[in-house]
Amino acid sequence: METEDRRILIIDDEPSICAGCRMTLADNGYVSDACSTGRSGLKALLSGRYQLVLLDMKLPDMDGMDILQKVKDSGIDLCVIVMTGYASVKNAVDAMKLGTFDYLSKPFSDDELLNAVALAVENRRFKEAHMAVRRQPATRRDFGNIIGENPRILQIFDDIRKVAPTDTTVLLCGESGTGKELFARELYAHSHRSDRPFMAVDCSTFSSSLLESELFGHTKGAFTGAVQDKEGIFSAAGNGTLFLDEVANLNMDIQAKLLRALETHEFKPVGASRLKKADVRFIAATNRDLKTMVREGRFREDLFYRLNVFPIIIPPLRERRDDIPRLLYHFLRQTCRQTGKRVDGFSDESLEILVNDDWPGNVRQLKNVVARLVIIADSPVLECQHLSDHWEAGPEPVRDEVPDSLDALKAAKQNLLDVQFGEIEKAFLKKALSEAGGNITRAARRVGMQRSNFSTLMKKHGLNSAAGPSSDRI
């Protein structure tokens, strides 16, 4: 974007902003022009000469949103950085929904301007590179640590291959145990920062005050017990990658500090008066619906858009059942190696039950179940009998984060009840079916339910009538 044919346009009615930006950009090798009205700016943009625009949202003759909409309608592929006052951050977020890449809150520093432009340039290069390169057929050869051939997993490998070489922030979303950390590590391994540190922080394991000092460090005397300066994870990550797990657990105060770190790559240790720089690549993960949290006012909207630049959704295991046999055999071999025990495989019947299970704890639960089955196995083939032994050991607890508000506590309680009640409900259906020899009508009658309700519940739990005598819960 530094060359003459890839100019930057600044549209702002304040001459001092235009002049200041142009000077800073010129000092750093960028070529730019400026327009002081919306109409002249729009005309210049529609000429197609510009690939990046710094756009003021409040112009005397036109609204910035109208300009954005018209450019979008024209089909011109433009990277937009919105410049806005603090009062209109909401407006800026709306603009992001129209395809805006970034926003700068006025007044902004030269560094903030240059950071935003550099990110936009990098994003542009990334998009161009991948438009030019023909899509490679999905292959899993270079993802040796991850077991999966399901099309949605292969698509994730493809996405990781594309996004890993950039410094773009990635948000991994998926239920607990789906493999978010594993995918984060693969992303890191495929990035140009793979020879630098990978630091993982579980945001749910620290109290808010401790987390701030863990992340950003602290100075001596910053709080009781801070007997010396301490480097935080941001500093320790050096020029590496920071994996923020369970990012939904950050409180509002730390969210604001993280937002600054994401925007300016600057952070302030607790008790320090000066900002420090950190050139870190961020990967975040969540098992919560951040959009809902934003709607409920529990997660900052601007931080959400900052994190959600490149979301990767990891499906729960029950939505990729074709991978279950591969995972079962992978963990079977792994446990056999670790324990020195010889178990060759699963009987067809037990495999079918395992494949049809709901796996609320996803791959982590499956891994633990296989380990337990191998340990208790007394024959080279795992039979249904072994599964029922496991079932008596109780369902796998689903790990969850420590709630940080009354609402979150209630949601956690409901979640736990749903999971545990679901298990009881399923066992109840299986028992009734088993006692009725697999006959749905008789099973429903025995427990005093209408057949239609009974069979709806069976569908909910993925049971068929054969799930009677032989089918036991894993």
Residues binding ligand ATP (CB under 6 A): 146-148, 174, 176-182, 245, 287, 363-364, 367, 399
Query: Nearest distance from residue 178's CB to ligand ATP, in Å?
Result: 4
For 397, phi then psi, to 5°, come to -70, 140
Smallest gap from Cβ 152 to ligand ATP, in A, equals 11
Nearer to ligand ATP, 214 or 245 (CB): 245
Angle at 282 between CA 278 and CA 283, to 5 degrees: 160
DSSP codes, 168-234: --EEEE--TTSSHHHHHHHHHHTSTTTTS-EEEEETTSS-HHHHHHHHH-B-TTSSTT--S-B--HH
In terms of phi and psi (left: phi > 0; alpha: psi -120 to 50; beta: otherwise), the region of 228 is: beta
Instruction: Provide the β-strand partners of residue 56.
Output: 83
In Å, what is the CA distance from 195 to each residue of 188, 231, 247, 253? 9, 21, 25, 32
Q: If we measure between CA atoms, which residue out of 365, 381, 383 comes closest to residue 324?
A: 365
In the complex, the smallest distance separating the C-beta of residue 404 from ligand ATP, rounded to whole angstroms, is 17
Pick between residue 316 and residue 345 the one whose CB is nearest to ligand ATP: 316
Structure tokens that stand for 201 in this block: 């922080």
Longest dimension (CA), the chain: 84
In whole angstroms, the minimum distance from the beta carbon of 307 to ligand ATP comes to: 16
Q: How far is the CB of 287 from ligand ATP (least distance, A)?
A: 5
* Nearer to ligand ATP among residue 97 and residue 337 (C-beta): 337
The candidate with the shortest Cα–Cα distance to 358, out of 388, 313, 396, is: 396
Q: Which is nearer to ligand ATP, 185 or 430 (CB)?
A: 185
Q: Which is nearer to ligand ATP, 51 or 287 (CB)?
A: 287
For ligand ATP, the closer CB: 89 or 189:
189
Residues 6+ apart with CB under 8 A from 351: 325, 328
The residue of the chain with the least Cβ separation from ligand ATP equals 179
Shortest distance (Å) from residue 209 CB to ligand ATP: 23
Closer residue to ligand ATP in complex, CB, 84/287: 287
- Closest approach of ligand ATP to the CB of residue 418, in Å: 17
- Angle CA(221)–CA(222)–CA(226) in degrees, nearest 5? 60
